[in-house]
Amino acid sequence: MNASQEKQYVDLFRQARTMLARHSSPVMDAVRDEAFSFFEAKGFPSPKDEGYKYTDLRPKFAIDYGMNLNRLDVKVDPYKTFRCDVPNLSTSLFFVVNDTFCARHEHLTALPAGVEIMSLREAAAKHPSLLAAHYDKLAGQSQDSLTAFNTAFAEDGVFLYVPDNVVVEKPIQLINVMSANVDMMANRRMLIIIGENAQAKFLVCDHADGEVNYLSTQVVEIFVGRNAVFDYYELEETTAANTRVANTYVRQEASSNVLVNGVTLTNGTTRNHVTVMLEGENAEIMLGGIATVDRWQHIDNNTLIDHRVPRCTSNELFKYVLDDEAVGAFAGKVRVNPGAQKTSSQQTNKNLCLTKQARMYAQPQLEIYADDVKCSHGATVGQLDENAVFYMRQRGLSKKEAMNLLMFAFVNEVVDNIRMDALKDRLHLLVEKRFRGELDRCGGCTKCKYE
């Protein structure tokens, strides 16, 4: 392996060590050195690492990016420049520009009492014990060198806290915008704590502005308390020059219900990983994903559902539509630990390849150490049903139209799992536009509309 790719970052870390400490909080800084030595020892993952078999990120890290380690102010007001609205969906809207959190007062006050969304730095001052009890507690165990990379370099991030028994009716929306004039890397971090019996919906949209190379590493840690209900949606609409490495870690207590749904509409290279740890009985997880990729786009979803206690339910549904020379990969592992009896787990991965050059790698895996379980997985790769296309053409639909209709129906199954009607409608529209080839830009932003 070419050691120089790591060297660039190893040197940077050593040079910027004091700066990293100055711009972050003691809690974040406490785990930094350990994470860094882990990264230094392991290096960037190569296709020889099972989890990164289909996505070689090393060339992406070889690019000389700028990093805003010195926390220079964001020059733009994202509220004025970017709008990514979901029609008929009023959300509490926040931004992360590159890796800096921006909030407006009116959105903060609109949240129910006790609900906090703020930068991790602010949280370190306001909720030091909460932060100390949760930060890097999930990610730190992951043995993933890119997570360690993020922990080593992240200076700030987003902190969301919903206290016990609080129901947040209005969805909270966070827009990640990559915006720079030069090649840029951002190390984003999120810590989400949902208290007992609490409920919240969180929508994260990823955008990239301009044509420079972007690379974002993102680590999200989500703690969901007993009986809580939490929805976590990710919607990626970035550019071909964007690389996204997102590792999400979810820990669920008893009787909690979590939905994680990741939609990749346009992107460059994306590698998403989700680990769900089911720690309390009767916890339920619904994990879903859609990818509609074309040209040379690359999408890799890698998931691990870890059933650690009895009587939990997991459902997984991923659907890909691959066009042109796009590459799709899906690796989903369900692990049922010893003693996790009465587990019910279902995993489905279906993929449509539209051209000869499109490639799909599917790897649905089960690791089961308990006997009283019902687990199944299924994966298919195929094309649209010729008979169905023929049927529609007989009735006067053009071939293109018939195909769009079928593809739309194909991914709709995942969209229908979404528990936010307005987002569902919006996605129906976006997916349709995407298939019609009209979705070059997201269309919702003023940035896109007026520039």
Partner 1 sequence: MQIKDNNNEYVKTVAASDYKYGFTTDIETEIIPKGLNEDVIRLISAKKGEPEWLLDFRLKAYRHWTTMTMPRWAHLDIPDIDFQDISYYANPLKKDRPKSMDEVDPELIKTFNKLGIPLEEQMALSGMAVDAVMDSVSVKTTFKENLMEKGIIFCSISEAVREHPDLVKRYLGSVVSYTDNFFAALNSAVFTDGSFVYIPKGVRCPMELSTYFRINAAETGQFERTLIVADDDSYVSYLEGCTAPMRDSNQLHAAIVEIYVHDRAEVKYSTVQNWYPGDKEGKGGIYNFVTKRGLCKGESSKLSWTQVETGSAITWKYPSCVLAGNNSQAEFYSVAVTNNYQQADTGTKMIHLGSNTRSTIISKGISAGRSQNSYRGLVRVAEKAENVRNYSQCDSLLLGDRCGAHTFPYMDIHNDTAVVEHEATTSKISEEQIFYCNQRGIATEEAIGLIVNGYAREVLNKLPMEFAVEAQKLLQVSLEGSVG
- Residues binding partner 1 (CB under 8 A): 50, 338-339, 341, 351, 353-383
Q: Which is nearer to partner 1, 2 or 355 (CB)?
A: 355
Q: Which of 235, 204, 224 minimizes the C-alpha distance to 161?
A: 224
Instruction: Point out which residues pair with 359 in neighbouring strands.
Output: 327
In the complex, minimum distance from the CB of residue 288 to partner 1, in angstroms, rounded to a whole number: 19
**Closest CB 366 distance from partner 1, rounded Å:** 4
Of the pair 37, 380, the CB lying nearest partner 1 is at 380
Dig out the tokens for 5 from the structure: 């790719």
Distance between CA 240 and CA 246 in Å, rounded? 17
Q: How far is the CB of 113 from partner 1 (least distance, A)?
A: 46
* Residue with tokens 């004091």, as numbered in its chain: 18
Comparison of 11 and 324: residue with beta carbon closer to partner 1: 324
**Residue 126 exposure: Cα atoms within 13 Å on the Cβ side:** 13
In this structure, what DSSP letter does residue 171 have? P
Find the shortest distance in angstroms from Cβ 355 to partner 1. 5
Task: Decide whether 377 or 428 has the Cβ nearer to partner 1.
Answer: 377
| CB closer to partner 1, 333 vs 447 | 333
What minimum distance in Å lies between the beta carbon of 244 and partner 1? 23
For residues 12 and 354, which CB has a smaller minimum distance to partner 1 in the complex? 354
As measured in angstroms, the least distance from the Cβ of 65 to partner 1 is: 31
CA–CA separation, 173 vs 171, rounded Å?
Answer: 6
Dihedrals phi, psi of 338, to nearest 5 degrees: -55, 135
Enumerate residues 6+ apart whose C-beta is below 8 A from 315: 284, 285, 286, 287, 345, 346, 347
Query: Least distance in Å: CB of 259 to partner 1?
Result: 24
Q: Which is nearer to partner 1, 5 or 351 (CB)?
A: 351
Q: How far is the CB of 359 from partner 1 (least distance, A)?
A: 5
Least distance (Å) between residue 265 CB and partner 1: 21
- What is the nearest approach in angstroms of partner 1 to the Cβ of residue 404? 17
**Nearer to partner 1 by C-beta: 324 or 421?**
324
Burial of 443 (C-beta count, 10 Å sphere; 0-12/13-18/19+): middle
**Distance (Å, rounded) from C-alpha 220 to C-alpha 272?**
11
- Cβ pair 221, 252 in contact under 8 A: no
Q: In 97-213, where does DSSP find H-type helix?
A: 105-109, 120-126, 128-134, 145-153
Residue whose structure tokens are 């993952």: 45
Is there a contact between 228 and 198 (Cβ–Cβ < 8 Å)?
yes
Distance CA(451)–CA(444), nearest Å, equals 13
Interacting residues of 218 by C-beta distance below 8 A, sequence separation 6+:
150, 176, 187, 188, 189, 190, 244, 245, 246, 247
Nearest distance in Å: CB 300, partner 1: 13
Neighbouring CB atoms inside 10 A of 74's CB total 18
User: What letters, b where the CB count within 10 A reaches 16 and e where it falls short, cover 348-360?
Assistant: bbbbbbbeeebbb
Q: Which is nearer to partner 1, 87 or 382 (CB)?
A: 382
Return the number of the residue (381 or 429) whose C-beta is nearest partner 1: 381
Of 371, 366, 306, which Cα lies nearest the Cα of 331? 366
Residue 37: Cβ within 10 Å count = 12
Q: Which is nearer to partner 1, 289 or 364 (CB)?
A: 364
User: Are the beta carbons of 10 and 42 closer than 8 angstroms?
Assistant: no
Length of the chain: 451
